[in-house]
Structure 1
Amino acid sequence: MKPPLPLSEAQARLLASVDALAPEDVPVEQALGRCLAAPLTARRTQPAADLSAMDGYAMREGEHGPWKVVGESAAGHPYSGIVGAGEAIRISTGALMPAGASAVLLQENAHRDGETLALNGEGEPSARHIRRTGFDFGSGDALLPPGTRVGPAQIALALSAGNSSLSVHGLPRLAILDSGDELAADPANCALHQIPASNGAMLAAMASGLAADIQRLGPVPDDLDALAAALDAAGHAEVIVTSGGASVGDHDLIRPALEAWGAQIDFWRVAMKPGKPLLVARKGGTVVLGLPGNPVSSFVTAYFFLLPLLRALAGNSRPLPSPIPLRLAGEMPAGGGRMEFLRAVLVDGKAVPVTERDSSALRAMASSGLLIERPANAPPAPPGSIVPAYWIGNGGVA
């Protein structure tokens, strides 16, 4: 039997086996969560003309007053005349600078009596309060590279740059298959020899927003024919993820079921804890991930394999999660022979590993907000040590 693959090698091998889905044009406001298939280019200049950055008065630079207020420039309602010597225009933030004006006096630095304006001794008119034409971007500028995930700020940028549609990659279809004779579909009606089927719902929630369609199948019993039928039902998807049955027990049938279905096993077993019995297979354009059945193992392997796979298919240029450096609040013992991911909470900006390490313990998983990465054979880490940690978004802040 081949030794387990290192995590980084397994991730690279999985991601190298897929290409981003074909691009399509969609309205900008429908592109949320999608990834750009082409650079986002500005079709207009922003701002298109000099604007005031503050509320106040516009006048010629170098003048010290007093001035006569001769009009107003409001956002969306510019002043149509030309500002002459000794004249000032009331101006609001975002309003067009009037012709002839080259400085802005802040409202709090002005004293106004009727139409007469003077300095109050707190400041002078300045050109630094003007947003110059094109200071944000100019027409033709490349604003965002391909592979950028479109979020709220990217939607605002695209619209401000004059784009009504975007070229984005499609989102993959995902089928999730729970398997195991011990699984009960109804959590309120669970016999002593059963456990509620929760992994499928967890995986669907994790993948929410990363897939065009999520199909739930199961629980499927530990039976080759039943598993083959479920795989056939899921065969339209770009990704099938199974939970349970990926190990080597007498009732772990995912691998033989995949082989009988006609899938080719790419690799099996990864040198990580939890999550060693991970399986990756392929049939045509479908990638199959066989995740362990223990819920913590299923969560961790989905975080490091399923979610990056979905991001890569959606065209994300940075599909892998990035660790953040955090200080340990207490001591951590030496690690074992595999790379390990420890559940932890964030307390006063420091990582505190939870004491429960069992891979079936969902309470500890649900209360954790972090996964601390421990390399294989890591030495003991004293308090204050910097460790790489991954934010998993479960809360986990004390």
Structure 2
Amino acid sequence: MALLPVDEALRLLLDGAVARPAERVALSDAAGRVLAAPLEALRTQPPFDASAMDGYAVRAADVASVPVRLAVIGTAAAGRGFSGEVGAGQAVRILTGAPLPAGADTVVIQENARRLDDGGIKVLETVATGRHIRRRGLDFSAGDVLLEAGRVLDPAALSLAAAANHATLDIVTRPLVAIIATGDELLLPGSEPGPDQIIASNAYGVAAIASAAGARVLDLGIVGDDRAAIAERLADATKAGTDVVVTLGGASVGDHDLVHEVLGSQGVTLDFWKIAMRPGKPLMFGRRDDMRFLGMPGNPVASLVCSQLFLKPLVAALGGRQHEPNLRPAVLGAPMAANDLRQDYVRARIAMKDGVLTATPFSVQDSSMLRILADSGGLIVRAPFAPAADQGDSCTVLMLGA
């Protein structure tokens, strides 16, 4: 199979990837989740004309000429309105959020009134009709569409849903990503490796990327280079209702790279398994019914770069989220040689100086070197056959951090 361009691979990967079905969750559990349907207001807010300030509810006609004395006939507080009616020459002490009493049509703020010894007030400033009043429905009315489907429920959206009297919400079900690390050489962190063994690291970064994109993650652990064992672990992923299975390692074509073969034996149709990119050339993608399978390279940096480019947008699509890669213009902090036929993702230090983003590539780019990736703020994206570039030339950076 010829090397597939990155853009074409991403198109195949996202083909048919739509939001998962909805589930109903409590409002208290909906933070950061995605609305599955438009949200309508179940009530009107505010439900009555309310005072926006502490002061006195009066008739504007009574304060058209000042100073003027008014008799205070009661108090209106939030949750405890005044049941009477304001007549000529009268006022009601009113606190912020309280319903405007019948007969009143404006509010004198307390700074513009002086309390008198007899309990009345002297109004010192004129006030126009309707001043300092929040009218009924100022924020929204029952039946208004307040939030559209696909909205991520940030703090403001959650509070709005609560104000609209929703105790539960219809939310897009988060996709489930199962991760299977393969390789006889792998041990869990905290183990004491033998002379031919290494510590498995890829799953933790891949899981973090999937989780940040909105997925639930099921870590199915490490499985050796054994066809039956890999098949058994894939069966576990199927039983769990997994949406995306990510295998780590075994995606190439060596004698011990068995994932390709086992996926085929399990009825998985592979869309591609060679990408024109560096790092990450031996990336596989296939599907079986509604399940998707991503076979990641075993090299740690390659698996994490592939997760940024492919797993993140796939999880976002299945979770009903919009995804735009954080690509920014920058200038090179060092020269770069001409590129070959593969699209290159070059680890680089990122700095901002005088409003200009500078990307300085690391001199060594081996795909096993996690420390360099951890020190990188972004990846310089170089198109296939890009010519040599000098320091100060323009480039594009895929940002990895905030």
Q: TM-score range by the shorter chain?
A: 0.7 to 0.9
* Post-superposition CA distance 1:296-340 (Å, at most 9, x none): 322222223223222322333x2x234364665956757735153
Check conservation: 1:246, 1:279, Cα contact below 8 A.
yes
Q: How does 1:120-135 map to 2 (within 5 A)?
A: 127=130, 129-135=132-138
* Matching residue of 2:359: 353
User: Against the structure 1 CA distance between its residues 264 and 129, is the aligned structure 2 distance closer, same or farther, given a 3 Å change threshold?
Assistant: same
Check conservation: 2:334, 2:361, Cα contact below 8 A.
no
- Identity level (%): 41
Q: How does 1:103-114 map to 2 (within 5 A)?
A: 103-107=106-110, 109-114=111-116
* Matching residue of 2:80: 77
* Equivalent AA in structure 2 for residue 255 of structure 1: H
Per the TM alignment, residue 234 of structure 1 is displaced from its structure 2 partner at its CA by 1.8
User: Against the structure 1 CA distance between its residues 6 and 209, is the aligned structure 2 distance closer, same or farther, given a 3 Å change threshold?
Assistant: closer
User: Against the structure 1 CA distance between its residues 135 and 225, is the aligned structure 2 distance closer, same or farther, given a 3 Å change threshold?
Assistant: same
2:279 maps to which of 266, 274, 280 = 274
* Post-superposition CA distance 1:202-230 (Å, at most 9, x none): 22233337677532223222333332222
Q: Which has the larger radius of gyration?
A: 2
2:251 maps to which of 229, 246, 253 = 246
Give the aligned CA root-mean-square deviation in angstroms: 3.4
Check conservation: 1:321, 1:390, Cα contact below 8 A.
no
Check conservation: 2:380, 2:395, Cα contact below 8 A.
no
Q: How does 1:298-317 map to 2 (within 5 A)?
A: 298-316=303-321
Q: C-alpha distance in 2, partners of 1:125/1:391?
A: 55
2:151 maps to which of 148, 151, 163 = 148
* Equivalent AA in structure 2 for residue 60 of structure 1: R
1:190 maps to which of 185, 190, 193 = 193
* Equivalent AA in structure 1 for residue 251 of structure 2: A
* Matching residue of 1:49: 48
Check conservation: 2:278, 2:344, Cα contact below 8 A.
yes
* Equivalent AA in structure 2 for residue 270 of structure 1: I
Aligned partner of residue 93 in structure 2, secondary structure: strand
Aligned partner of residue 231 in structure 1, secondary structure: helix
Equivalences, count: 387
Q: C-alpha distance in 2, partners of 1:354/1:193?
A: 35
Matched, 1:283 2:288: yes
* Matching residue of 1:29: 28
Matched, 1:228 2:231: yes
Check conservation: 1:345, 1:367, Cα contact below 8 A.
no
Q: C-alpha distance in 1, partners of 2:52/2:397?
A: 42
1:366 maps to which of 354, 374, 384 = 374
Q: C-alpha distance in 1, partners of 2:14/2:397?
A: 22
Q: C-alpha distance in 2, partners of 1:39/1:95?
A: 31
Check conservation: 2:78, 2:95, Cα contact below 8 A.
yes
User: Against the structure 1 CA distance between its residues 259 and 324, is the aligned structure 2 distance closer, same or farther, given a 3 Å change threshold?
Assistant: closer
Per the TM alignment, residue 264 of structure 1 is displaced from its structure 2 partner at its CA by 0.9
Check conservation: 2:330, 2:359, Cα contact below 8 A.
no
User: Against the structure 1 CA distance between its residues 46 and 386, is the aligned structure 2 distance closer, same or farther, given a 3 Å change threshold?
Assistant: farther
Q: Which moved more, 1:289-298 or 1:85-94?
A: 85-94
* Equivalent AA in structure 2 for residue 252 of structure 1: D
